[in-house]
């Protein structure tokens, strides 16, 4: 445990404060302007209903932080998708090509050329993917510690997603108690390793049955601990998703919203952005 005494430890406080830079970028400038990026030791929740784009935003963040110019490293734990799926989606994002068309075999020479160029570019990124289907917070801690001890530069951890994390000794605890334990462990990990830990989370289904379907902080699923523990909470909303569910002929307008529902170091509010369904990516507008 480290303790500080302001009488003896404040000599460089003003200089450090004035020299502090903004945190790691999400890749969406308007969002970074409001949140000041992701700082070391922060615990960030990115939440939304299924198919709202949580994993897509996580991949955007990984590409933004893991780019060669930042000399950082992203450790991406995917408990839902395989390494192959994530790599293909990252590739489609960098190449700006239609992921679903490629999976259907609709590939031209031009698309193949763009994919080859994007693959060479992606190989320079520092993104490490762990796709183990069952992980506990202890597993994540050990794995992260092994990279740090080997001298690997890890500047951000992403977990996709928090409800899939297992608990070692389930005992008679209910899921809410388990989620509280998991949330506190991820917060402690962010502080111990001095990196932002970004955890994706589901939202309660209840929001789909009320008059306003815009998500809010109280919709975080299974645990109030996440709301309490997190430094920042980002909620995703795409109105067209619900329009299409009601009317199959409705079009995806590409309208998207990132709601800053909690922000300990700045304002809350809403960021308008775009959604590109072809390669499943959020973009600034």
Q: What is the pLDDT of residue 209?
A: 63
Q: Is the pTM of this model over 0.85?
A: yes
Q: What is the pLDDT of residue 77?
A: 97
Out of 80, 88, 255, 257, which one is annotated catalytic? 80
pLDDT tens for 256-280 read 999 999 999 889 999 999 999 999 9
What are the residues whose beta carbons fall under 8 Å from the beta carbon of 30, sequence distance 6 or more?
A: 271, 272, 273, 284, 285
| Confidence band, pLDDT 50/70/90 cuts, at residue 167 | confident
Across the chain, mean pLDDT equals 88
Bond prior to 169 in cis (omega within 30° of 0): no
The span from the CA of 189 to the CA of 76, in Å, is 15
Burial class (CB in 10 A: 0-12, 13-18, 19+), 255: middle
Could you give the dihedral angle defined by the CA atoms of residues 70, 264, 61 and 19, in that order, rounded to the nearest 10 degrees?
Answer: -10
What are the residues whose beta carbons fall under 8 Å from the beta carbon of 33, sequence distance 6 or more?
A: none
What are the residues whose beta carbons fall under 8 Å from the beta carbon of 19, sequence distance 6 or more?
A: none
User: Does residue 80 carry a catalytic annotation?
Assistant: yes
The residue among 190 and 7 whose pLDDT is bigger is 190
Using a pLDDT cut of 70, give the percent of the chain over it. 89
pLDDT tens for 188-244 read 999 999 999 999 999 877 766 666 678 888 888 666 688 889 999 999 998 887 766
The span from the CA of 127 to the CA of 75, in Å, is 6
CATH number for the region 39-234 comes to 3.40.50.300
Task: Find the range with the poorest average confidence among 117-126, 135-144, 168-177, 211-220.
Answer: 168-177
pLDDT tens for 168-193 read 766 656 778 888 899 999 999 999 99
pLDDT tens for 58-92 read 999 999 999 998 878 999 999 999 999 999 999 99
Is residue 38 within 8 Å of 26, Cβ to Cβ? yes
Q: What is the pLDDT of residue 171?
A: 60
Cα-to-chain-centroid distance, residue 82: 16
Residue with tokens 């935003």: 57
Task: Find the range with the poorest average confidence among 99-108, 161-170, 182-191.
Answer: 161-170
DSSP letters along 5-26, please? -HHHH-TTHHHHHHHPPP-B--
Q: What is the pLDDT of residue 168?
A: 76
């Amino acid at each position: 445990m480290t303790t500080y005494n302001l009488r003896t430890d404040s000599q460089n406080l003003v200089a450090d404060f004035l020299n502090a830079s903004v945190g790691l970028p999400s890749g969406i400038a308007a969002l970074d302007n409001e949140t000041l990026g992701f700082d070391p030791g922060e615990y960030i929740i990115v939440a939304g209903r299924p198919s709202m784009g949580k994993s897509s935003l996580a991949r955007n963040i990984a590409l933004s932080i893991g780019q060669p110019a930042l000399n950082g490293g992203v450790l991406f734990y995917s408990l839902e998708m395989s390494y192959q799926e994530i790599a293909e989606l990252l590739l489609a994002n960098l190449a700006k090509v239609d992921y679903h068309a490629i999976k259907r075999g609709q590939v031209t020479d031009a698309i193949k050329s763009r994919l080859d160029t994007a693959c060479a570019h992606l190989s320079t990124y520092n993104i490490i993917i762990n796709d183990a289907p069952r992980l506990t917070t202890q597993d994540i801690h050990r794995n992260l510690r092994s990279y740090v001890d080997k001298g690997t530069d890890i500047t951000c951890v992403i977990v996709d997603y928090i409800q899939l994390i297992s608990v070692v000794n389930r005992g008679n605890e209910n899921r809410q108690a388990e989620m509280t334990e998991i949330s506190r462990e991820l917060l402690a990990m962010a502080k111990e390793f001095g990196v932002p830990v970004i955890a994706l989370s589901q939202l309660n289904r209840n929001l789909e049955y009320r008059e306003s379907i815009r998500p809010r902080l109280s919709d975080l699923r299974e645990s109030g601990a996440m709301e309490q523990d997190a430094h920042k909470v980002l909620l995703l909303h795409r109105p067209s998703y619900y329009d299409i569910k009601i009317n199959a002929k409705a079009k995806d307008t590409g309208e998207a919203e990132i709601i800053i529902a909690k922000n300990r170091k700045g304002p809350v509010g809403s960021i308008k952005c775009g959604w590109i369904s072809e390669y499943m990516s959020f973009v600034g507008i």
